[in-house]
Amino acid sequence: MSRRPQTELAVLGALSVEPMTGYAVRAAITSTLGHFWSESFGQIYPTLARLQAEGLVRKEDGPFAITPAGRARLRELLAEPIDRTPPRNGLLLRLFFGRTLGPDASVDLLRDARAEALSTLATLAGIRAEVESETDNPDRAYFLVTIAAGEATARAQVEWAEDSIAALSP
C-alpha cells in the first residue's frame, strides 16, 4: 500500500484554505500543521509541479491556487483509509532500554519531555486564542479540533512524565 498521496493531500489541503506560494505552503505546514505534520521543500516543489501538470493546481502570478479538479482530488484523498503505521517515538524507544541508559539519564529524558509538553501547551494556547477570535472562519471548528488534540496529548504527556519520574526515582 503506497503512502504516496500523503504529501499531495497536505499540499492540496493547504491550498484549499487559500492560494499560496510553495514557500507559504511550507510555512503553513511548519506553523499551523507543525504539531502533527512535516514536509520539506524537496517534497513540496516537485509535488506542486506535478499537480500543476495534472491541472489540479494553477499558478496565476505569484501564488498557486487549487482548481475544481484539485478540490475533487482532495475529496478523494480525504476519503482514503488512514495510514496506520505506528509513528516512531524516539523518546519511548530510549526509555524502553532505560536499564542500559541508566536511571538518571532516563529521568533527564522525562524532565525534558515534560518541559517540551508544557511549551507545546503554551504555543497551542496562543494559536487557540487566535483561531477562536476568527468567528467567521468556516474552518474554525475543525482547526479547533486539531488544536484540542495537541492539547490533550500534551497534557497527558505532562502527567505521564511526572508519574514516571516519581516511579523511577528511588
Partner DNA sequence: AGAAACATGTAAAATGTTACATGATTGT
Partner DNA sequence: ACAATCATGTAACATTTTACATGTTTCT
The DSSP-derived string for 113-155 is HHHHHHHHHHHHHHHHHHHHH-TT-TTHHHHHHHHHHHHHHHH
- Give the one residue of 31, 38, 50, 104 binding its own copies; rule: CB under 8 A: 38
Per CB under 8 A, contacts with its own copies among 131-160 are: 138-139, 141-146, 148-149, 152-153, 155-157, 159-160
| The three three-digit cell numbers of residue 116, written as one number | 517540551
Burial 41-76 (b: 16+ CB within 10 A, else e): eebbeebbeebeeeebbeeeeebbebbeebeebbee
**Measured from the CB of residue 38, what is the shortest distance to DNA in angstroms?**
5
Nearer Cβ to DNA (38/119): 38
Q: Which does 43 bind (CB under 5 to 8 A by kind): DNA, its own copies, none?
A: DNA
- Give the one residue of 52, 94, 118, 128 binding its own copies; rule: CB under 8 A: 94
Residues contacting 10, CB < 8 A, separation 6+: 29, 33, 37, 39
- # of chain residues touching its own copies (CB under 8 A): 62
Q: Check residue 36 for interaction with DNA (CB under 7 A).
A: no
Distance from the Cα of residue 80 to its chain's centroid: 18
Q: Which does 36 bind (CB under 5 to 8 A by kind): DNA, its own copies, none?
A: its own copies
Q: Which residues bind DNA (CB under 7 A)?
A: 1-7, 21-24, 27, 38-43, 45-46, 48-49, 59, 62-64, 85, 88
